[in-house]
Structure 1
Amino acid sequence: MAKMDEEGGHHVNWKDGRVSGAVYHGGEDMQKVIVAAFERYCVSNPLHPDVFPAVRKMEAEIVAMCLKMYNNPNGAGVTTSGGTESIIMAVKTYRDWARVTKGITEPEMIIPISAHAAFDKGAEYMGIKVHTIPVNPETRQVDIKRVRRAINPNTMLLVGSAVNFPDGCQDDIVALGKLASKHKIGLHVDCCLGSFIMPFLEEAGFSVQPFDFRVEGVTSISCDTHKYGFAPKGNSVVMYKDAQLRRFQYYVNPDWTGGVYASPSIAGSRPGALIAGTWAAMQYMGHSGYLESCKSIVTAAKTIAHRIRTEVTELRVLGNPPASVVAFAAAPGSSLNVLEVGDKMSKRGWHLNAVTNPAAVHIAVTRLTVPVVDQLIADLKDAIGEAKLSPSGNGTMMTLYGLGQSSPVGPTMVGHVAEAFLDTLYKA
């Protein structure tokens, strides 16, 4: 198994910093701290707090630290297995809240087209109708007028991102909050990717628009500790304005023959080792550590955006990303295919993300990316030159995303490819 990682012909060495997001590495010293926590709590399970009281306390403290970070120390929250579960749990919470408090039996939610796919996933699981709203092509923020028009008596939830995954931009949370307050509905702010970057921007000296619980109308926030919090993969936090709202997330069955069953999220048994590792990572980094991490990562991201804008005329940066993600598309009037550029970058050892509407490529900067910014720009310039002179048209990005645009049945074909890909993951 080790040889598979070390000798694979198409292996991506994440340690060299050429991977967009995916690996949020806090350093070798952090890794030792996390592994030590794993070893001590490897068999622990927070389903049994009487058996593992320390893990229960660590989980409560993780939630409390995140609530403080997002300026709601008297709020409530729960840890989950990741951002997707945090978002699905929030969707479930508002569905049940709307049923009990507003009598809504056919709930609807309104999300930007740039919102994470987990909202659609949660809506599909929970039987909720979704209204998807376009974003402004320049600012990349959701169209507030269209959101306002979409609100109706069945609306239970509005969604905004700070920041979103496709282009790393932030919606107008203040405007969304005003709408949520006016109509007495929920507003969830997805900070899964913004996680431990957004709360430190202002103190780090960067400009940032309001996004947390200080904004009137914000009723819940999701934050991934396993991204820029450098916690082990498999941990996130969903936070609510108060404990009363959080109760709608719980599942409680007092009549089960096996005894009273109550769980805060989807899982029953959960890995206490991940909670211990998350707690240890947060304690080890501390406020000052996260502040310095924010400074270095955001400085690198802003350097990338600035150099693309000033040195790479064939590309344009999407919106005005405030944090760690930079997305670039072909400049107006350019014949350049940016997905071809993405494929050329792959041949140079980079693992970037392709996004759509418009076609673009993004990089989520991590601590590993910081030392290789100059190399990124140099390789990007070379990749553009090669894409213009000798486009192959058969790279991964071109093939998959080109297929989706090939015909009216293109998206269906891409879906079948994705299903086949998932099948192959389970071939031993």
Structure 2
Amino acid sequence: MFFSALRNVGIHASSSIRATLSSPSNILRRGLSTSLDSTTASCVQKLRDQLRYYAVAEIAGRPFLITQNDKVIVNRLKDVKVGDVLKLDRVRELGSKDYSLVGQPYVQENLYDIQATVIEHTKSKLIQIVKKKRRKNYKLLDSRQLGLIKNIVFLLVLYHYWGRFYAKVIVGGPVRALTDFRDFIKKFVFRQLRKLPSVQAKIDAELNKTIREMEESIFSKEGDITHHHRLPAHGMSQQEVLDNLKKLQNIKCADWKSGKVSGTIYHGGDELTELLAEAYRMFAVANPLHPEVFPGIRRMEAESVAMVLSMYNAPATGCGTMTSGGTESIVMACKTYRDMYKDLKGIHDPEMVVPVTIHAAFMKAAEYFNIKLITVPVDPITYKVDVKKMAKAITRNTIMIAGSVVNFPHGIADDIVALGQLAKKYKIGLHVDCCLGSFVMPFLEKAGLPTTSFDFRVDGVTSISCDTHKYGFAAKGSSIIMYRYPSIRKYQYFLSADWTGGIYASPSVAGSRPGALIAGCWAALMKMGEDGYLDTCQQIIQARRKIQKGIESIPQLHVKGDPIGPVVAFGSVETMNIYDVGDKLSARGWNISPLQNPAALHISVTMLWVNSADQFVKDLKESVEELVTNPDSGKGSTAAIYGTAASIPDKSIVEDVAAGFIDLLYKA
């Protein structure tokens, strides 16, 4: 039968039609084997019945589809018009290669009186018919199971974009979301423009110019010292080495001894420095990786951790390890929570929620350990993290939240009690970054100074980082990371039981570590004692208050938030560029830190500032007065750098400059 081939109609149906009907001469005719007389009515009826299905008629040399009830679907109205009644003299089964119906030899032409009416012009009809045929062979596409899978995929996509919308708009707020969207558009357009050869060439030229200027600034300070790019052919004598060290020590640098550098040098006095140097000499070859060889180092490290735990009111279960600095302490805490909640809760897409003012070490940990970082804005008045928005940002994938006491930019302590309640409610970790507050914040209460709750006495706090090499006055390269329970700390360790070199275990990132720094840290803690740290706390806070009072006395300036620790940050009125103030101070020998978002200047008050605070206030007032009298006297390098950085949508250019600067640090 003509329509037995319909079961083969599928994807290739349309191509078969084109191949078989493009030329009438290609049509093959074959007689119909039947016992019926061709002149009988039954033969005619049989022919008509067969045309009530899907077939193709050739009209004006073009194929047209015939459907039920003798309807013709046209795909070009130039050949026929809608409503025309056609007498069919050539018909072919859809998809057939070797059959056709004509007036001869099947029936006589006078008996072949089948007429078909032309209906509405549409290509979709043909597509729809083909799809109907395909569904017979591909019922799986319409199955309920496949529909369920489609719905699940749709919901996952919706969840993904809803999560991004929630983090940006609900948590960050609509104003911030619009600002971020505007910046995204600018960044996208800028990056597309940057791909243009002419634009890229100009950017590269400016980058190279900037890097050359930085290189000149760095190397010009070195004078005529001898450069060493290869090992000396013959080893130097001890005196020759010392002479070279002396020359390197005398390279021109910032005047830190006079207390004109923000933070950086946390100096506990010449006597303590001599003690640290002697401790380093005694344990110069010690390595805590081998406690059986250096048992004294093991003892000093354990005692240093214990003393800091006591200072932060840790419970009896409190524990910790020593690290190389605040960054490693924070990175280790993030790694610990990632691994712990992967094990305990099965979280494979970890997230951490932190204030936008948190230390950059959290950004580094997020990048290193593939943790999604959710930043929460701070209150524009207090500069403390918005606890309500932090609560909204917590999801089932959240492994930890964090707060600072105090934060680096503005010296503000977040509400750790409120954060502790969140951590308890959602059963997640709470890390308190006390790296900068270190040995000042724990002594505020004993000194009778305003303070806040932040240590292990706060329910919900599970880890704290404290830098012993800042206000603890230990040599650079030591910090303590503390945990409430050993069951948390164990996830910090790296353990390998099947290494070919033997069973390997280390508490932090480093394998071998300098035992001399551990000895120096222990020596500083023992030499200073509680009374020594209490005294330095009082002096440092007094100096900070003096500077803060001086800033508040200048109408054009304002202090950011209400600092309680050793840090103070200040901005300026809109009519004055705060970076110009910084450049004026730099010209007077001061080295203070610029901030951005919002623009401000930052001072970490150290013991060296105790004697220079009055002079700083005097120079600050004079700098502001100069800018008020002559606004054009500003426009220094800092204002230019941060002004340019703020105006560039694509921050990758700023990162390129920063990378170039780091490259210069390793240029001999």
Structure 1 residue 367 corresponds to structure 2 residue 607? yes
Verify the 8 A CA contact 2:315 2:456 in the aligned structure 1.
Answer: no
2:586 is the counterpart of 1:342: no
Partner of 1:168: 411
Instruction: Give the superposition deviation at 1:392.
Output: 5.1
Task: Give the SS at the match of 1:16.
Answer: coil
Matches of 1:401 and 1:66 in 2, distance apart?
38
From 121, 127, 137, the equivalent of 2:364 is 121
Which residue of structure 2 lines up, in the alignment, with residue 330 of structure 1? 572
Gap runs ≥5 in structure 2: 1-244
1:47 aligned partner, one-letter code: L
Partner of 1:44: 286
Q: What SS class does the counterpart of residue 326 from structure 1 fall into?
A: strand
Letter paired with 1:3: K
- Residue 87, structure 1, aligned to residue 330, structure 2: yes
- Report if aligned partners of 1:251, 1:263 keep a CA contact under 8 Å in 2: yes
Establish whether residue 313 from structure 1 lines up as the match of residue 555 from structure 2: yes
Is 2:641 the partner of 1:397?
no
Deviations 1:371-426 (A, max 9, x none): 111100011011112334144555332132112111312x2221111000000000
**Paired residues of 1:115 and 1:164 also in contact (CA < 8 A):** yes
Checking the alignment, whether the CA contact within 8 Å between 2:627 and 2:634 is kept in structure 1 is no
Q: Which residue of 1 aligns with 2:444?
A: 201
Rounded Cα–Cα distance in structure 2 between residues aligned with 1:391 and 1:51: 65
Distance 1:142 1:302 in 2: 23
* Residue in 2 that maps onto 1:419: 659
Is 1:381 matched with 2:621?
yes
How many angstroms apart in 2 are the aligned matches of 1:225 and 1:37? Answer: 16
Task: Determine helix, strand or coil for the equivalent of 2:547.
Answer: helix
1:69 counterpart letter in structure 2: M
Structure 1: gaps (5+ residues): none
Q: Displacement of 1:205 after TM fit?
A: 1.2
Q: C-alpha separation between the residues in 2 aligned to 1:403 and 1:214?
A: 45
Is the CA contact (8 Å cut-off) linking 1:327 and 1:360 kept in structure 2? yes
Q: Relative contact order, CA 8 A, sep 6+: which one is greater? A: 1
Sequence identity of aligned pairs in percent?
54
User: Residue by residue, what CA displacement relative to the aligned partner does 1:342-376 show, whole Å, maximum 9, x if unpaired?
Assistant: 11111111110011121000110000000111100
1:81-118 CA-to-partner distances (Å, cap 9, x unmatched) read 00000000000000001101111010000010000000
Of the candidates 461, 484, 493, which is equivalent to residue 241 of structure 1?
484
Counterpart of 1:406? Answer: 647
How far apart are the structure 2 equivalents of 1:84 and 1:299?
28
Aligned counterpart in structure 2 of residue 31 of structure 1, from 273, 278, 283 = 273
Alignment of 1:290-309 (within 5 A): 290-309=533-552
What residue is the counterpart of 1:226 in the other structure?
A: 469
Computing the radius of gyration over CA atoms, which structure comes out larger, 1 or 2?
Answer: 2
Aligned to 2:375: 132
Q: Residues of 2 paired with 1:68 and 1:330: CA distance?
A: 41
> For 1:32-90, what per-residue CA distance to the aligned partner results, in whole angstroms no more than 9, with x for missing partners?
11011001000000000000000000000010001000000520100000000000000
Q: Distance in 1 between matches of 2:251 and 2:623?
A: 26
Residues 200 and 290, structure 1, Cα contact 8 Å, conserved in 2: yes
Deviations 1:123-157 (A, max 9, x none): 10000001000100110100111101000000000
Query: How far apart are residue 307 of structure 1 and its match?
Result: 2.2
Task: Output the CA distance in 2 between the equivalents of 1:246 and 1:52.
Answer: 23
- Letter of the aligned partner of 2:246 in structure 1? A
Q: Aligned pair count? A: 422
TM-score w.r.t. the length of structure 1 is 0.97
Deviates more, 1:387-396 or 1:201-210: 387-396
Matched position secondary structure for 2:461: coil
**For the structure 1 residues 394 and 178, does the alpha-carbon distance in structure 2 shift closer, same or farther, using more than 3 Å as the test?**
same
**2:593 is the counterpart of 1:353:** yes
SS in 2 for 1:147: helix
- Please state whether the residue corresponding to 2:551 is helix, strand or coil: helix
Contact kept, 8 Å, 1:340 with 1:391, in 2: the verdict is no
One-letter code aligned to 2:549: H
